[in-house]
Amino acid sequence: MKKTAVILAGCGNRDGSETHETLSALLAMDKRGMQYQCFAPQGEFSVYNHIEGKPSGEKRNIIIEASRLCRGDIKPLSAYRAEDFDALVLPGGMGAAQNWSNYAFEGENMEVNAEVAEAVRSTNAAGKPVAAMCIAPMILAKVLGDKHPTITLGNDCQAAEHARKLGCKHRICTAEEAVADKENKIVTTPAYMLATHIAEVFAGADRMVEELVKLMA
């Protein structure tokens, strides 16, 4: 049975891991009989009030908030070892751009959380596939840009240009599609970079996991 690690960045599209994207990815894996284990880095983040559409002024713990998405079954990212898994999945959400990195503030000059970067780098070095959704492919662009992978960020021209400057090739696709870079074993899907309905997100996540399974062979 294939086992996949999933890194989370909190819980919420504006300040953590996007809930629809995360659950769509987990469901797509579960329906294929795949096991998964969620991880998250330690640390605090600034909370966004999703009702009022503005920062709340609160600080919360990343892994505690992320645990809401997986019913408490989560481990600190420091415990991740690439040799224990067959693949790695990074759902999207603004947590990828704020809690895993500072992309939201620094753009192409971003830095990535050391544990997140090491998880991506070690998985890729082990010849195992990595998948990313929504804005999370920017993490791959920063960490693996020297391998010139092909990724998608939907049709976001600014993000695509940032990815190109970091060494990536960018391909436009719909929310219901996924782009597979077979040479580098990377799969990406736009999710809410383009989607307007949860059904589109799930279709893209399902296609992403389908391609991920092929790269595990």
Number of Cβ within 10 Å of residue 56's Cβ equals 14
Provide φ and ψ at 43, rounded to 5°: 125, 165
- 157 part of the active site: no
Widest CA span in the chain: 46
Provide φ and ψ at 116, rounded to 5°: -65, -45
Q: Which amino acid is at 102?
A: N
Phi-psi region of 53 (alpha: psi -120 to 50; beta: other; left: phi over 0): left
Q: Which of 134, 157, 168, 173 is catalytic?
A: 134
- Could you give the angle at which helices 137-144 and 157-165 cross, rounded to 10 degrees? 20
- Please state, in angstroms and rounded to a whole number, the distance separating the CA atoms of residues 150 and 179: 8
Q: Which amino acid is at 124?
A: N
- 159-165, long-range: CB within 8 Å, 24+ apart, which pairs? 159/135, 159/193, 162/103, 162/107, 162/108, 162/138, 163/137, 163/138, 165/108
Please name which of 112, 98, 91 lies closest in space to residue 193, comparing C-alpha atoms: 91
Catalytic residues: 134
